[in-house]
Chain A
Amino acid sequence: MLIIKNLRASIEGNEILKGINLEVKAGEVHAIMGPNGSGKSTLSAILAGRDLYQVTAGEVTFEGENLLDLPPEVRARKGIFLGFQYPVEIPGVSMVNFMRTAVNEVRKFRNLPDLSSSDFLKMMREKKALVEIDSGLTSRSVNEGFSGGEKKRNEIFQMAMLEPKLAILDETDSGLDIDALKTVAYGVNRLKTPQNAIIVITHYQRLLDYIVPDVIHVLYQGRIVKTGGKELAFELEEKGYDWIKEPNREIENE
């Protein structure tokens, strides 16, 4: 589904990603872990189409198509979803209006007619129940005045509404208490099918207790320095990131 080959990217001349290789297949859940500043959020932003970064080398294909040439909205319509680490507050844009526009844009792309008002509202109700989002939140402006937990839940709600093929969840666990974390994880697990894939980006191991990954990658200084099964998370939990940093000191000296 997603193939990343030797991806290098920089911002204002600083190289952040120094050759990423990654392949994600349908039905898989991948976790990308790593200390702060290792490039996790940069990778997710580049996959979603943020133009702040310059891709200097490498390629990214999504279902065989070059992803890097596509504007963010086309990536979204093709089935890529980014759950933001810091969801943006947009005062004055109602959740309902926002979601109706988004869902219908995606449907238009798939040659489906716009949803009727009643079908749309029915869909909203179902998806709200799925992620246990407070009904009142969807009648407000996008993320405006939402608590940290509500914002994250809202990201999963949007994911449920848009039914992406590949969801990239950027630190969805940060700032969540354990109950909110469980709800978010429950929502994500319910949305998982053999046809879609999920990349979970996280700093901590605890989210992976609830969203169990097939593969874990450790990102450090712009490179994937370790790949393994879910047991890797426990090892990281036990030994901390210093364990990763030690054998990679040579990278810093390059």
Chain B
Amino acid sequence: MSKDDTLQQVTTNLSDWYLSSRDRLTKASSPVFNAPRTEAIDHFRTLGIPGRGNENYLYTDVQKVFSQPYKRHIDPQKIIFSVEDLFHCDIPELDTELILLVNGWFYNNRPPLQILPNGIIYGSLAEAALRYPDMVKSHYTKYADHSTEGLVALNTAFARDGTFIYIPKNGGNEKAFQIVNILLSTEDLFVQHRNLVIVEEGAVARIVVCDHSLSALQYLTNSVTEIYVGKNAELHYYKLQNEHNLSNQFSSSYIHQERDSRVVFNTVSLHGGIVRNNVFVKLNGQGASNETLGLFLADQNQHVDNYTFVDHAEPDCTSSQNFKGVLDDQATGAFTGRILVRQDAQKTEAYQVNNNILLTDEAQMSTRPQLEIYADDVKCSHGATVGQLDENALFYLRTRGIDSREARLLLMHAFGHEILKQVSVKPLQERLEDLVDKRLRGELSRCNNCPVQCET
């Protein structure tokens, strides 16, 4: 069977699964989720799983990942373990508002929604859609376009739960929010979750997302996150992917920014099988700024593909993408950075850099800038490098008594530091530095004292 046939088969299977589970899905969900389902599955039937024919997925073997026989569930499965006993993040200074998702479901060990005195609401998106349907409805499916992206259509057709964070106008929270995604099961699993973050006008939020897989089984996650950042609001969003070689992840984040808003979106991919990160940014109001960063470390047969699309829809906005990768063994990586500057988006500043280090001859990196500029008064730049470690720097370190291996580690760490130093949550930054160091040394890079024993 050819790859395209296989993908077609997967698309058909998933569509059939929808038909057979539609009644259960709609019965258990808020009308907010149910409203776009039919349209979404219709789009999915047409769009399908993106194959190699899809130019945006040229470098990622989607077929290989989706053709595995995963178990799929419409409802949450009973997980027999106490997450509270197993999991507490040990970064002592990282005192956060915790949201736990297990296999894509809000872990129901606390009220599904926390409502803080300052008006902040966070917890399960399913619950939020039932209790605050208007609030959810005004943003849900507004940014993630299920008419053009097959994976978004698939996620929307089946959406039932995920995380929800709401920061009211001019609000803010001393603590950061921490979303921990845990994969834990006794069977290979297909997981989808849907997340919504609303940062209202003038509000400030910091969000840390940690992805872990706890069982040494095959996983495929297809997640969609919609993020609304209102006028003059600010969001710092950090995503740490620390799964294992059998965990495949397709994550699509859609960031909608209004006037004078500021967003930093940073993805650190430490471990995973096939990882694809989509970040779509729409700068929808004058003076908005967006910084999208990423660091990935891949070895063995891992594959990390970062795709960014920044839409400069309004004038006077600034965007920058800075992605760095270190590839060892036979690992492969890809970066595509699309920047669209619309005709009216004068005085746009858009910058893009992608630097990569290949440690072996077999490692491979594909990098593609895609700039479409229709305005004439703009500053845009892009650059990409694929190279080795700096021999002069290596020699310099060695002449001070530092052996070759240690010198290489120092340089690789320094390479990644440029991305990590921009993490504004200090304890998280220190932990990331430590994790990256351990990862580069080939030591297990799980959080040191975390009782959750992530398999690798």
Q: Do A and B come together as binding partners? A: yes
Task: Check A92–B399 contact: CB distance below 8 A.
Answer: no
Residue B403 at the chain A interface, CB threshold 8 Å? yes
Residue from B398, B414, B418 within 8 A of A72 (CB atoms): B398
- B residues 349-404 near A (Cβ < 8 Å) are 390, 392-393, 395-404
**Stretch in A19-27, A101-109, A192-200, A241-249 with 4+ CB within 8 Å of B:** A101-109
In whole angstroms, how far apart are the Cα atoms of A142 and B395 in the complex?
14
Q: A141 to chain B: which residues have CB within 8 Å? A: 414
Q: Contacts A88-B392, A90-B393, A90-B396 known; A105 to B403 CB distance under 8 Å?
A: yes
B418: chain A residues within 8 A (beta carbon)? 91-92
- Determine the distance from Cα of A142 to Cα of B402 in the docked complex, in whole angstroms: 14
Give B326 Cβ to nearest chain A Cβ, in Å: 13
B residues within 8 A CB of A92? Answer: 413-418, 421
- Are A48 and B399 CB-contacts (below 8 A) given A73-B404, A88-B392? yes
Known: A93-B414, A101-B406. A88 touches B400 (CB 8 A): no
Q: Which residues on A sit within 8 Å (CB–CB) of B397?
A: 90, 93, 98, 102
Q: Return chain B residues, CB-CB under 8 Å to A73.
A: 398-404, 407
Q: How far is the CB of A71 from chain B (nearest CB, A)?
A: 7
Assess the A98–B410 pair: CB atoms within 8 A. Answer: yes
A82 lies within 8 A of chain B by Cβ: yes
Point out the residues of chain B lying under 8 angstroms from A98, CB to CB: 397, 400, 402, 410
Task: Give chain B's interface residue range (CB within 8 Å of chain A).
Answer: 20 to 34
A158-212 residues at the B interface, CB under 8 angstroms:
158, 162
User: B401 is contacted by which of A91, A97, A105 (Cβ under 8 Å)?
Assistant: A105
Q: Is the CB of B393 within 8 A of A76?
A: no
B411 engages A90 (CB within 8 Å): yes
- In A42-95, the 8 Å CB interface with B consists of 48-50, 71-73, 75-77, 81-82, 84, 87-88, 90-93
**A76 and B400 in contact (CB under 8 A), knowing A91-B418, A101-B410, A141-B414?**
yes
Bound-complex Cα distance A50 to B398 (A) = 10
Within 8 A of A (CB), among B225-277: none
Which range holds the interface residue count of chain A? 20 to 34
Smallest beta-carbon distance A48→chain B, Å: 5
B33 to chain A, nearest CB (A): 45
Nearest-CB distance from B405 to chain A (Å)? 10
Write the nearest CB–CB distance from B415 to chain A, whole angstroms. 7
Main secondary structure of the interface of B (DSSP, over half): helix
Cα of A77 to Cα of B415 in the assembled complex, Å: 26
Is B413 a contact partner of A72 (Cβ separation < 8 A)?
no
Residue of B nearest to A79 (CB): B401
Contact: A72 with B395, CB < 8 Å?
yes
The docked-state distance in angstroms from the alpha carbon of A71 to that of B397 is 12
- CB-nearest residue of chain B to A90: B393
| Chain A residues within 8 Å of B401, by CB | 73, 76-77, 102, 105-106, 109, 162
B410 CB, nearest partner CB in chain A, Å: 5
Whether B399 pairs with A49 at a CB distance below 8 angstroms is yes
CA distance A77 to B398 in the complex (A): 10
Report how far A53 CA is from B34 CA in the complex, Å.
71
A209 to B418 alpha-carbon distance, docked (Å): 43
The residue in B395, B399, B406, B410 that gathers the most chain A C-beta atoms within 10 A of its C-beta is B399
Which of A82, A90, A158, A162 counts the most chain B CB atoms within 10 A? Answer: A90
When distances are taken between beta carbons in the complex, the residues of chain B under 8 Å from A142 are 396
- Minimum Cβ distance to chain B for residue A70 (Å): 11
**Cα distance, A142 to B392, chains bound together (Å):** 13
In the complex the two chains form, is A82's CB within 8 Å of B399's CB?
yes
Check A162–B400 contact: CB distance below 8 A: yes
Given contacts A90-B393, A92-B418, contact A102 B411 (CB under 8 A): no
Residues of B contacting A93 with CB < 8 Å?
A: 397, 410-411, 413-414
Chain A residue contacts of B417, Cβ below 8 A: 91-92
Chain B residues with Cβ below 8 Å from A82 are 399
* Bound Cα distance A75, B400 (Å): 9
Choose one: A48, A75, A87, A91; the contact of B414 (CB below 8 Å): A91
With A and B bound together, what is the CA distance between A105 and B397 in angstroms? 11
CA distance A227 to B396 in the complex (A): 30
Q: Which chain A residues lie closer than 8 Å to B402 at the CB level?
A: 73, 98, 101-102, 105
**Assuming the A-B contacts A50-B395, A72-B395, A90-B393, are A158 and B414 also in contact, with contact meaning beta carbons closer than 8 angstroms in the complex?**
no
User: For the complex, what is the distance from the CA of A93 to the CA of B402, rounded to whole Å?
Assistant: 13
Query: In the complex, are the beta carbons of B398 and A71 less than 8 A apart?
Result: yes
Q: Which of B396, B401, B403 has the most CB of A within 10 A?
A: B401
Nearest-CB residue, chain B, relative to A75: B399
Query: Looking at the complex, which one of A71, A109, A158 makes contact with B400 (CB distance below 8 Å)?
Result: A158
List the A residue with the shortest CB-CB distance to B409: A101
The closest CB in chain A to the CB of B417 belongs to A92
Q: How far is the CB of A49 from chain B (nearest CB, A)?
A: 7
**Inter-chain contact B396/A76, CB cutoff 8 Å:** no
Determine the chain A residues whose CB is within 8 A of the CB of B393 once the complex forms. Answer: 88, 90
**Which 4 A-B pairs give the minimum distances between C-beta atoms?**
A92-B414, A92-B417, A76-B401, A102-B400
Given A72-B398, A81-B399, A90-B410, list of 4 further CB < 8 A pairs?
Answer: A73-B401, A76-B401, A98-B402, A109-B401
Instruction: Pick 28 A–B contacts, CB within 8 A, sort by A.
Output: A50-B395, A71-B403, A71-B404, A72-B399, A73-B398, A73-B399, A73-B401, A73-B402, A75-B399, A76-B398, A76-B399, A81-B399, A82-B399, A90-B414, A91-B418, A92-B416, A93-B411, A93-B414, A98-B402, A98-B410, A101-B410, A102-B397, A102-B402, A105-B400, A106-B401, A141-B414, A158-B400, A162-B400
